[in-house]
């Protein structure tokens, strides 16, 4: 999938060897906070904060089947395109989850392009 990008600016965000398999990190590019995640075949970069109520996904986000689930109310996003798979289901108290979900309209997580070059993970910010 081709992402709308901010110019041709690649930003070195973390040394490749500092991002271990399965681990998430939060980094800033200027004023923008992003989350990085290394998987077997790729490095994902997304906006750092959950679109529901801004929980930082690097802290406690669960990754499974190419999706990340926010630990707060369990909103789940596709890591490849940011699509919302589930919005605030909050299985512990589903009625409360629905109420909390209604406070903010579902919106996708912004996904950024990544590459690895000369021992660095680089990110090109999406304008989406």
Which residues of the chain form contacts with ligand FES (CB under 6 A)? 50, 52-53, 55, 70, 72-73, 75, 88
| N-terminal to C-terminal alpha carbon distance within the chain | 13
Closest among 25, 16, 19, 91 to 57, alpha carbons compared: 25
How far is it, in rounded angstroms, from Cα 77 to Cα 67?
5
For residues 36 and 101, which CB has a smaller minimum distance to ligand FES in the complex? 101
Is 74 within 8 Å of 85 (Cβ atoms)?
no
For residues 101 and 122, which CB has a smaller minimum distance to ligand FES in the complex? 101
Minimum CB separation from ligand FES for residue 72, in Å?
A: 4
Minimum CB separation from ligand FES for residue 92, in Å?
A: 12
Minimum CB separation from ligand FES for residue 68, in Å?
A: 10
Pull the structure tokens for residue 108: 């996708």
For residues 50 and 121, which CB has a smaller minimum distance to ligand FES in the complex? 50
């Amino acid at each position: 999938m081709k992402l709308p990008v901010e110019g041709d600016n690649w930003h070195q965000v973390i040394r490749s060897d500092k991002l271990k398999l399965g681990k998430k990190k939060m980094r800033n590019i200027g004023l923008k906070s992003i989350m990085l995640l290394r998987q077997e075949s790729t490095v994902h970069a997304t906006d750092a904060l959950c679109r529901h109520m801004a929980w930082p996904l690097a802290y406690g986000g669960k990754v499974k089947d190419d999706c990340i689930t926010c630990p707060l109310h369990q909103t789940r996003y596709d890591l490849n395109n940011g699509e919302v798979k589930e919005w605030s289901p909050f299985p512990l108290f589903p009625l409360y989850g629905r109420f909390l979900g209604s406070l903010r309209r579902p919106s996708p997580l912004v996904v950024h392009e990544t590459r690895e070059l000369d021992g660095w993970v680089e990110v090109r910010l999406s304008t989406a």
